[in-house]
Structure 1
C-alpha cells in the first residue's frame, strides 16, 4: 500500500469519526431543543383581534409556562377567569396590586399618576376607550387591557365586578414570548420600556431564542454529518480514477 493510500484511508477514518460525532451532537441539540420547548412552552391560537397589531386574530403564539407571581407590567399573558368566560384569553398587564390605573383619555394610560408610553398600540387610528376614573388594583391581582382598545373586552368592561376589573395572579397560564404563525408575523414580542422604571421593572424574555438556535444548529449538524459519507465516497472514487489513469500513463 502506498503512502498516498494510507494517508487517504487515515483521512477517511477521521472524517467518518467526526461525521458521526456531528450527527450525534446534532440529534441531541435538535431533539433536546424540541423537548425543552415542549416542557416550557404552550401554543395558543388567539381567536380575536383585541391585541392587534401586536397579535392578530388567528395568530398562533408561544406562551412560556410561568407562575402568576412572575408576571410584570407590560407582559402579554394567557389567562382564564370564570367571570370573563372561563376560556383562554390574551391581554396585556398594565397594572399590578396597589397600582392606580387611569385609562384611556385620548388614548393615554397612566399608572400611579405617570403617563406610560405605549408604542405597541395601533398608530393609524384612535385607540382610547371611554375614559374611566382612577382605579386601584387590589393586592395579588392584575389589571389587563387589549392593545386594540376600541374593541377589546378587557378590565375596563369589568369594573363593576367588585374587584375593579382585575383578575387574580393565579389565573395566568403563561406569558406570550413570540408569534409562531403566520410566518410573516413570526418573531419575539418586545418588552415595553414604558414600564421599566416602575417597581419590579419588566420581565426578561424566556429561553425561546436559545431553543430555536439549538434546533437549527442541531439540524445543520445532522444534515452536514449525514452528507459527509456520500461526498467522501464520490471524492474517493474520483481520486481513485485519477490515480488509475496516472498509473496507466506511466506504464
Structure 2
C-alpha cells in the first residue's frame, strides 16, 4: 500500500483532448536517469566503505585486547607448531590476575631480553604491517617470539640430570613434546628464575634460539612477565590442523619454588 498520495499535473504540452504525453509526480520532475544512477551509487560506495572501515576497526580492537592471530615463521616449536601455522593467541589469559604457568605456550615481546631496542621505522609502514599481522596475513614483528614456559619466578632450572633430563626445583621433567631425536638441551645451565620473569624454550631444541642463547645477555635470557602478549590456545589454519594447542602435564610433579628462594645458580 502506498503511504503517500501521488498527484499528477497536466503537462503544458498536453493535447487539447486531455491526453497527457508526460506526467510529473508530486509536482516535481524526477532526476535524469544518469543523475539518478550516480546519486544511488555514491551512497552505496559510502556505505560499503563505512562497513569495511567498521569491520577493520572491530578486528583491530579485538586483536589488541582479546585475541590475535600470529603466523608461525620458523620450525622452532615443532612438532607442536609448524611453519605456516596461524595460531590464535588468547590475550585475556593473564589479564585479570593470571600468570603464565609452566608448560604454557606463550607469545611475548622479546625487546630487552631477546633483542635490543631498535629505533622506530616509518610509522605508516609499521601501521600497515601491524594491520596485516593482526589479521594473521603477515609475519609478526621481529621482536615477537613464541616459546614454551619451562621455569617461572623462583624456579631453579637445571640441565641436565644423569638421564639427560631437565629438572625444575629438583624434579626431572619428561618433556614428551620435544622434537623426536632432540636432546632436552645440548647447552648445560643451572639458573634461578627471578620473580616476574620466565625461562622459555622452544620444542625443537636443536633449532630454537631461546633463553639458553641469551644467558650472557642483560637479563640472562629471562623474559619479563609483563612482556607476554598472551597464551597460544588454538591452531586456526590450515584447516587440516584446526585444533587447540595441546596442553601438557609434564610439570605436574614439580613443586613450588621454596619461599626463601634457591641459592644462586651457576650459569652453565
Name the TM-score class by shorter chain. Answer: 0.5 to 0.7
Counterparts of 1:201-216 in structure 2 under 5 Å?
A: none
| Distance of aligned partners of 1:188 and 1:107 in 2 relative to their CA distance in 1, 3 Å threshold | farther
For each residue in 1:34-78, what CA deviation from the matched residue of structure 2 results, as whole angstroms up to 9, or x when unmatched? 99x866311000111000000011210011003375211100000
Q: How many residues align?
A: 166
Equivalent in the alignment of 1:155? 211
Counterparts of 1:58-77 in structure 2 under 5 Å?
A: 58-66=84-92, 67=94, 69-77=98-106
Counterparts of 1:45-194 in structure 2 under 5 Å?
A: 45-66=71-92, 67=94, 69-83=98-112, 84-85=114-115, 87-104=143-160, 108-123=165-180, 125-194=181-250
* Aligned residues of 2:106 and 2:149 also touching (Cα < 8 A): yes
* Higher RCO structure (Cα 8 Å, ≥6 apart): 1
CA separation in 2, counterparts of 1:113 and 1:158?
23
For each residue in 1:12-50, what CA deviation from the matched residue of structure 2 results, as whole angstroms up to 9, or x when unmatched? xxxxxxxxxxxxxxxxxxxxxx99x86631100011100
CA separation in 2, counterparts of 1:87 and 1:163?
16
CA separation in 1, counterparts of 2:253 and 2:184?
24
Q: Bigger CA drift: 98-107 or 73-82?
A: 98-107
Equivalent in the alignment of 1:5? none
* Aligned residues of 2:80 and 2:246 also touching (Cα < 8 A): no
Once the two structures are TM-superposed, the CA of residue 121 in structure 1 deviates from its matched residue by 1.2
CA separation in 1, counterparts of 2:164 and 2:246?
20
Structure with the higher helix share, 1 or 2: 1
CA separation in 1, counterparts of 2:160 and 2:146?
19
Specify every segment of 5 or more residues in structure 1 that has no aligned partner in the other structure, as ranges: 1-33, 201-251
CA separation in 2, counterparts of 1:191 and 1:64?
14
CA separation in 2, counterparts of 1:61 and 1:102?
30
TM-score scaled by length of structure 2: 0.56
Once the two structures are TM-superposed, the CA of residue 181 in structure 1 deviates from its matched residue by 1.1
For each residue in 1:77-131, what CA deviation from the matched residue of structure 2 results, as whole angstroms up to 9, or x when unmatched? 00002142362110000000110001356752210111112111122x1334323
CA separation in 2, counterparts of 1:46 and 1:107?
29
CA separation in 1, counterparts of 2:73 and 2:189?
30
CA separation in 2, counterparts of 1:104 and 1:183?
38
CA separation in 1, counterparts of 2:158 and 2:220?
12
Specify every segment of 5 or more residues in structure 2 that has no aligned partner in the other structure, as ranges: 1-57, 116-141, 257-268
TM-score scaled by length of structure 1: 0.60
| Distance of aligned partners of 1:75 and 1:95 in 2 relative to their CA distance in 1, 3 Å threshold | same
CA separation in 1, counterparts of 2:67 and 2:252?
25
